[in-house]
């Protein structure tokens, strides 16, 4: 596994996203066993960064993540746990309460990383960061970040955070480069902020792009692994793919060690959806 070393941290290039673990917009207990099997498999394979949120399955995702970690007996200090506060909970007292609720569901004493999940029109960002900074001072959160922030908002957030802003989590993949086109990645790389790519693999694109398939075949890997390696080869970029399939989880994790050449990166850079 390759890592990004930033602000005295070593963060895996590839983590495990938990959207759809335990449900989607609401909890779906019928998915519990499938979800726990996926989390246990990921832990057994060696994933250490788990990314969840209070609105994933209405908090049930956090409950299942915490349960799987306890049942597997994985030491908390060996893991990097991220969660997020949703956009309608960005007032000072709400942020404090929501973080406490996330910790209760995870049954943990602190979060390694806490993000604003989405910006919202009319939000009072200074008030939100007053609460986030308070959480860091109290030791309930170690690092702060944002998600889905454009360049203007990202700069505002970086200025308001009392500790170095750790990440901006955005959709980023070979066919989806909207945030990069608008300067977000360049700003992150120039200011020691990680760009965390979610939805890093677009199945329709990977299955239908012949050049991508040829490159994968030449490397003896899957198109999905090439898609992930395109991200992790870039400095200051990490990613959080998700799969219920243990074999796909293994392949995703292995993609972190696949370093693409400058020629291969250029070839992939030229691809469009």
Q: What is the mean pLDDT of the chain?
A: 96
pLDDT of 272 strictly over 90: no
Global pTM value: 0.97
Q: Quick: pLDDT tens for 226-249.
A: 999 999 999 999 999 999 999 999
Active-site residue among 47, 56, 172, 179? Answer: 56
Mean pLDDT calculated for residue range 48-70? 98
Asked if 56 is an active-site residue, the reply is yes
What pLDDT score was predicted for residue 273?
45
Phi-psi region of 172 (alpha: psi -120 to 50; beta: other; left: phi over 0): beta
CB 86 within 8 Å of CB 55: yes
Q: Quick: pLDDT tens for 191-202.
A: 999 999 999 999
* H-run or E-run covering 65: helix 60-72
Mean pLDDT calculated for residue range 155-173? 98
Mean pLDDT calculated for residue range 90-99? 98
pLDDT of 154 strictly over 80: yes
CA distances 167 to 55, 116, 178, 206, Å, are 19, 11, 17, 26
């Amino acid at each position: 596994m390759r890592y990004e070393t930033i602000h005295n941290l070593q963060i895996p290039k590839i983590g495990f996203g938990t959207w759809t673990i335990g449900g989607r917009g609401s909890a779906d207990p019928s998915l519990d066993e499938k979800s726990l099997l996926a989390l246990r498999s990921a832990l057994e394979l060696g994933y250490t960064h788990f990314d969840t949120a209070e609105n994933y399955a209405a908090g049930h995702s956090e409950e299942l993540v915490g349960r799987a970690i306890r049942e597997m007996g994985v030491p908390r200090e060996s893991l990097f746990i991220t969660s997020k506060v949703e956009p309608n909970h960005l007032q000072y007292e709400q942020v404090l309460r929501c973080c406490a609720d996330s910790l209760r569901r995870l049954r943990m004493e602190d979060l390694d990383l806490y993000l604003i999940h989405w910006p919202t029109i009319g939000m009072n960002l200074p008030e939100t960061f007053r609460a986030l900074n308070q959480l860091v001072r109290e030791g309930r959160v170690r690092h702060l970040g944002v998600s889905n922030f454009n360049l203007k908002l990202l700069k505002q957030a970086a200025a308001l955070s009392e500790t170095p802003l750790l990440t901006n989590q955005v959709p980023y993949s070979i066919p989806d480069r909207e945030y990069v086109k608008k300067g977000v990645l360049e700003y992150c790389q120039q200011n020691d902020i990680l760009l965390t790519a979610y939805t890093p693999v677009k199945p329709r694109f990977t299955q239908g792009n012949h050049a991508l398939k040829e490159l994968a075949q030449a490397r003896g890997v899957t198109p999905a692994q090439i898609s992930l390696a395109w991200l992790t080869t870039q400095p200051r970029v990490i990613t959080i793919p998700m799969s219920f399939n243990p074999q796909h989880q293994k392949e995703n994790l292995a993609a972190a060690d696949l370093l693409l050449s400058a020629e291969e990166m250029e070839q992939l850079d030229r691809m469009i959806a």
